[in-house]
């Protein structure tokens, strides 16, 4: 390497995102849906974990032992802080791929995960990562990898290259402008260029809207997503050519929304795609059908197929739990090209059955809804759709009572730590900070926004009397120099803010809190 960061953005912290595809608890349902048996995951590793939120949630909320690295010492320090708070024993270090992947004291892994980083690192690092996967992934083990892909990036790539070129101009570097300022200047430059109506914009008119979206996004996100020196967008076939020599085969999408072609492809698109018999070519064709821009995939080293009987039995015994209040689950969703409406006669009874916020196996769910003429296949497809849209989650494999108790204890310790940080405003405001808490029920993260976290913090201090929460929350918000916004209008006075918090506290206590308690988040 020429320098410690090897061309990767380092002066803006990565976002505090949680990525459910990295949760091994999601493997059994996804694999069974595609006729495969998922392995038990005892050891796992995330390469380039960013802030480490996903790794820490999955380590705290399950019995899986986690390892991982990130080159940025600030990010690794935050991840280590969370691991210490939960007592999960996750081994997370500030280390380059070159150093971490060549350690001789690491175990072999059942699960290796890379979220996005494959697209943003040098060829040297990609070779190191591939060698690590080849050596350290167990037979039957699973690789999660997400990456920028073609054809969805084809039109945008020239604009991305121009933006990066602008940030790397000699004048900017000589003046020592920080990355954020250089990104601002590059976006302003591109906007002025588009005002001159270049033929590129005429040929790709949607790029104007794309540029406007970029201008509105957080600079921390943009820096890591688009402005690293190394940046790749490769086809599924290229990924297959790279991974197949290591005995890895494509298992299925990690993004549950991609499991249901009925929701993503038109009848003509489905007919053509399903008529392609070669599995690699079929995935390539599907990427054209949806103009795929970012793939999230599971690959398996020696996957074990299930026969039809085993597949149905495995699917029937999978459990799911609701993550959203039933009346908040939209039945109209946006797919890749259009808006689709879910069948109320199917989804409303299923949501009602899940409204107790308890885990339900798919077979029990189907049995309870048989009087509504719903069968296991319809329940399965609906469950996959709810998981894919983020409104439900599959559950981890059943663990013994001691393991469940340990996961619950670690999750509680981690959540208490994150709630204290929310009260201290230890999270940056530009990307919203940590927006999830840990659930031992799902084995991963559950979305809980900043105000909801402060309500939970107030509940720890005041108990279940929601009337007492607004004063505590306002104390934290006002100490941080912040105020609430209602209907796009900033509330200036203390009484206005307290009144709004009182309304929100009652709503939270009535709707969200029962759900978070059931998920053992609260």
The Cα 228–Cα 9 span in angstroms is 6
Can you tell me the mean pLDDT for 337-363? 94
36 falls within a domain: yes
pLDDT tens per residue across span 251-299: 999 999 999 999 999 999 999 999 999 999 999 999 999 999 999 999 9
């004291």: which residue's tokens? 105
What residue spans of 50-178 are helical by DSSP H?
53-60, 73-86, 97-100, 123-136, 157-167, 170-174
Report the CATH number at residue 108.
Answer: 3.40.50.150
Residue 493 lies in a domain: yes
Helix (H), strand (E) counts: the chain: 24, 18
Whether the predicted pLDDT of 325 surpasses 90: yes
Q: Name beta bridge partners: 250.
A: 299
pLDDT in tens, 495-516: 999 999 999 999 999 999 999 9
Give dist(CA 401, CA 222) in Å, integer. 44
Q: Which of 359, 394, 429 is the last residue of a domain?
A: 394
Domain identity same for 109 and 244 = yes
Please report how many Cα atoms fall inside a 13 Å half-sphere around the Cα of residue 448, on the Cβ side.
28
Alpha carbon distance 503, 472 (integer Å): 14
My answer on whether 97 and 201 are in the same domain is no
Q: What is the spatial distance between Cα 312 and Cα 421, in angstroms, rounded to a whole number?
A: 45
CA distance 125 to 1: 9
pLDDT, tens digit (0-9, with 9 covering 90-100), for 230-247 = 888 999 999 999 999 999
- What is the band of 6 on the pLDDT scale with cuts at 50, 70, 90? low
Nearest Cα residue to 172 out of 163, 160, 162, 181: 181
Domain that includes residue 366, residue range: 319-394
Whether residues 171 and 71 fall in one domain: no
Percent of the chain at pLDDT above 90?
Answer: 82
User: Does residue 278 fall inside a structural domain?
Assistant: no
Question: What gap in Å lies between CA 335 and CA 206, rounded to an integer?
Answer: 18
> Is residue 168 domain-resident?
yes
Residues 410 and 499 in one domain: yes
Task: Say whether both 407 and 510 belong to one domain.
Answer: yes
Tell if the pTM clears 0.85, that is, is over it.
yes
User: Does residue 69 share a domain with residue 25?
Assistant: yes
Q: How far is CA 59 from CA 41, 69, 170, 379, in A?
A: 11, 14, 44, 30
390 and 330 within one domain: yes
On the question of a cis peptide bond just before residue 151, with omega within 30 degrees of 0, the verdict is yes
Mean pLDDT over all residues of the chain? Answer: 92
Check pLDDT > 60 for residue 3. no
Query: Does the residue 339 lie in any domain?
Result: yes
Q: Give a yes or no: residue 110 inside a domain.
A: yes
389 with 413, same domain?
no
Euclidean distance between CA atoms 363 and 377, whole angstroms: 10
CB 521 within 8 A of CB 437: yes
Q: Does residue 93 contact residue 71 with C-beta atoms inside 8 Å?
A: no
Distance, in Å, from the CA atom of 89 to the CA atom of 80, rounded to the nearest integer, reads 10
Tell me: do 240 and 220 sit in the same domain: no
Residues 376 and 427 in one domain: no
Is there a single domain that holds both residue 120 and residue 35?
yes
> Do strands 65-70 and 91-94 pair parallel, antiparallel, or not at all (unpaired)?
parallel
- Domain C-terminal end among 251, 280, 308: 308
Greater confidence (414 vs 232) lies with 414
User: Vertex 363, ends 522 and 360: CA angle to 5°?
Assistant: 5
Within a domain: residue 290? no
User: Coil, strand, or helix at residue 479?
Assistant: helix
d(CA 310, CA 298) in angstroms, rounded, equals 21
Question: The tokens of 380 are what?
Answer: 């399965």
Query: Which letter, b or e, does each residue of 191-202 get, where b requires 16 or more Cβ atoms within 10 Å of its Cβ?
Result: eebbeeeeeebe
387 inside domain? yes
Phi-psi region of 435 (alpha: psi -120 to 50; beta: other; left: phi over 0): alpha
Task: Look at residue 174 and tell me whether its pLDDT is greater than 70.
Answer: no
**Per-residue three-class SS string for 275-311:** CCCCHHHHHHHHHHHHCCCEEEEEEEECCEECCHHHH
Do the beta carbons of residue 71 and residue 448 sit within 8 Å? Answer: no
Final residue of a domain: which of 394, 409, 433?
394
Same domain, 167 and 144: no
Is residue 219 within 8 Å of residue 182, measured between CB atoms? Answer: no
Q: What is the pLDDT of residues 441-485, one digit of tens each?
A: 999 999 999 999 999 999 999 999 999 999 999 999 998 888 898
Q: Taking CA 147 as the corner, what is the angle to CA 145 and CA 152, rounded to the nearest 5 degrees?
A: 140
Token reading at 465: 């009397």
How many domains does the chain contain in total?
4
């Amino acid at each position: 390497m020429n320098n410690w960061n090897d061309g990767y953005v380092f002066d803006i912290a990565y976002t505090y995102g949680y990525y459910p595809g990295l949760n091994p608890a999601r493997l059994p349902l996804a694999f069974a849906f595609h006729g495969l048996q998922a392995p038990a995951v005892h050891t796992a590793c995330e390469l380039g974990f960013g802030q480490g939120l996903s790794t820490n949630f999955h380590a705290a909320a399950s019995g899986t032992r986690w390892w991982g690295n990130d080159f940025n010492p600030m990010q690794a320090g935050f991840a280590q802080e969370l691991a210490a708070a939960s007592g999960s024993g996750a081994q997370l270090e500030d280390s380059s791929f070159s150093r971490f992947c060549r350690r001789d004291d690491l175990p072999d892994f059942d699960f290796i995960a890379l979220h996005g980083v494959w697209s943003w690192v040098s060829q040297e690092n990609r070779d190191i990562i591939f060698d690590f996967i080849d050596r350290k992934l167990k037979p039957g083990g699973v690789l999660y990898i997400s990456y920028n892909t073609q054809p969805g990036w084809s039109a945008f790539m020239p604009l991305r290259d121009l933006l990066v070129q602008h940030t790397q101009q000699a004048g900017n570097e000589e003046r020592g402008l920080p990355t954020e300022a250089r990104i601002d200047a590059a976006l302003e430059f591109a906007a002025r260029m588009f005002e001159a109506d270049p033929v590129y914009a005429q040929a790709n008119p949607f790029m104007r809207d794309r540029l406007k979206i970029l201008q509105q996004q957080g600079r921390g996100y943009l820096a890591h997503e688009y402005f690293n020196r190394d940046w790749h967008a490769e086809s599924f076939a290229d990924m297959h050519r790279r991974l197949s020599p290591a005995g890895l085969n494509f298992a299925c999408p990690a993004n549950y929304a991609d499991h249901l072609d009925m929701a993503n492809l038109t009848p003509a698109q489905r007919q053509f795609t399903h008529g392609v018999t070669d599995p690699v070519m079929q995935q390539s064709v599907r990427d054209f059908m949806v103009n795929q821009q970012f793939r999230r995939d599971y690959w398996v080293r020696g996957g074990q197929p299930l026969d039809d009987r085993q597949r149905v039995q495995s699917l029937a015994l999978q459990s799911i739990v609701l993550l959203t209040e039933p009346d908040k689950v939209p039945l109209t969703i946006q797919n890749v090209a259009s808006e689709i409406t879910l069948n109320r006669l199917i989804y409303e009874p299923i949501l009602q059955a899940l409204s107790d916020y308890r885990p339900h196996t798919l077979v029990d769910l189907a049995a309870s809804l048989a009087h509504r003429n719903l069968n296991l296949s319809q329940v399965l497809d609906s469950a996959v759709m709810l998981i894919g849209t983020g409104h439900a989650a599959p559950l981890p494999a059943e663990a013994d009572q001691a393991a469940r108790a340990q996961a619950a204890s670690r999750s509680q310790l981690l959540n208490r730590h994150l709630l204290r940080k929310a009260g201290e405003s230890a999270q940056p405001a530009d990307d919203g900070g940590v927006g999830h808490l840990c659930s031992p029920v799902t084995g991963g993260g559950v979305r809980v926004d900043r105000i909801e976290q402060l309500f939970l913090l107030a509940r720890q201090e005041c108990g279940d009397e929601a009337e007492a929460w607004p004063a505590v929350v306002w104390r934290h918000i006002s100490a941080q120099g912040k105020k609430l916004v209602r209907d796009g209008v900033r509330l200036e006075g203390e009484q206005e803010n307290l009144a709004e918090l009182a309304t929100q506290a009652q709503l939270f206590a009535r709707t969200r809190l029962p759900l978070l308690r059931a998920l053992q988040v609260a």
